[in-house]
Structure formats: C-alpha cells, structure tokens
Amino acid sequence: MGSILIPSQKKYLESFLHEDDPLIIEMEKYANEHNIPILLRDSAELLEQLICLVKPKRVLEIGTAIAYSSIRIARNLKKKGIVHTIEKSKDNIVLAKENIAKSGLEGKINLIEGNALEELPRLDKKFDFIFLDADKTDYKRLFDYSLILLKKGGIIFVDNLLWHGLAASSRIPKVKKNSVKIIREFNAAFTSQPNLKTTILPVGDGIGIGIKI
C-alpha cells in the first residue's frame, strides 16, 4: 500500500505515534499479515481525537472489517455513547465479534450484520458522527444515505480519499483506473455538498471531514 507522504516525512511523523493497547497492536499485525484494510494509525488517532472533541452519543460506522476502528471509537465514547457498525463479510463478522469480546466493550458496540445499502434505510434514528469506510463502488450511495442519517452539526469522517496517492496522479495503472475514477467522482461530490462544510486532509490515505450545516 502506497503513502501520500515522502518516506522521510512518514517516518518522522510515525515516530510520534504510540500505542500501548495489546489488542490494538495485535489487530494491526493481523490486518497487515492478512491484507485486511483498516485505518492507518495516524488516521485512527485523528478519528479518536474527533470523538473526544465532539463527544457523540450515537456513532455510525459503515464498514466494520475486524472492528479495529469500532474499538478505537468505543474506547473514547462517554458513558452513554454507542457505536453502531455495519459489516457484510461473514468472515470479518466472526473476527469482529472475537475482537469486540476481547476488548470488553460489547456494551458500547452494536454490530449490525448485513449489506449497508440494505441496513441503512432501516435505521430510524439520526447520528452525531458517521464514519464511512466501505466498498468504494458503493461510496456515493452510502454517502447519500449517511447525509440523511447525520444530525445537523454532526460530523462525517471518510477514509481513502487520496487512494494511495493515485487520486492526484496523472499516471494510473490500468487495474486501478476504475477505482480512481470512483474516488475522484466521490471527492467532487463530497466537496460540493451545499449542506456540508468539508475538507480533505492529507492524513493517512486521505481523510474527508464534513460538518452538516
């Protein structure tokens, strides 16, 4: 996986990233060894910072994977806070359940099993914070649903908007052309929403942050 920073910058910034939780370290190792996409550590720390700042009571995560970010969100929620997270992969669901149990945060994480495009219309309450990190082919549709479910003043946090640096590249491998096209179109839609105050930050693989106005 590529980086949007030059190696010396990346190494320097990573020297300030510290993680003491054995479960988080174990999950990062597992994801790396099994090629499971999770938030890069700097992106995850930004996510945690925002959770601490906003103090949301209801969080929605679209794309649980192995529950890496679910756990990082949940451990920073206040007493009554809960994260509802949606995952469709049966294999990931098994791993996510195991990791959530290990974390001791079962009471703060509600794992919804199913396709997000089918599950989102069933949700009848709005959210203070939404984290979108699912299949890129569905990003725009999931984003549209998310805006409906996001409270006014709420935050949406989106991963992979620089797509390993390829979104800004003029030379794109043939195998990546379609995914790059999807990300570029999404970025244009994301930054042109009239009811969102948006920015795309060069953190991790590119983080989009939008505040509903």
**Alpha helix stretches (DSSP H) within 15-131:** 22-33, 41-54, 68-74, 90-103, 116-119
pTM of the model: 0.93
pLDDT at residue 1 tops 70: no
Q: Per-residue pLDDT tens for 7-34?
A: 888 788 888 888 889 999 999 999 999 9
pLDDT at residue 3 tops 60: no
Segment 140-159 mean pLDDT? 97
Alpha-carbon distance 37 to 35, whole Å?
Answer: 6
State residue 5's pLDDT score: 65
Q: Per-residue pLDDT tens for 50-76?
A: 999 999 999 999 999 999 999 999 999
Alpha-carbon distance 130 to 148, whole Å?
Answer: 11
pLDDT at residue 107 tops 80: yes
Q: Per-residue pLDDT tens for 174-209?
A: 888 999 999 999 999 999 999 999 999 999 899 999
Which one is predicted more confidently, 150 or 174? Answer: 150
- With beta carbons less than 8 A apart as the criterion, state whether 27 and 100 touch: no
Percent of the chain, pLDDT > 90?
83
Q: What CATH superfamily classification does 7-212 receive?
A: Vaccinia Virus protein VP39 (3.40.50.150)
What does the domain layout of the chain look like in residue ranges?
7-212
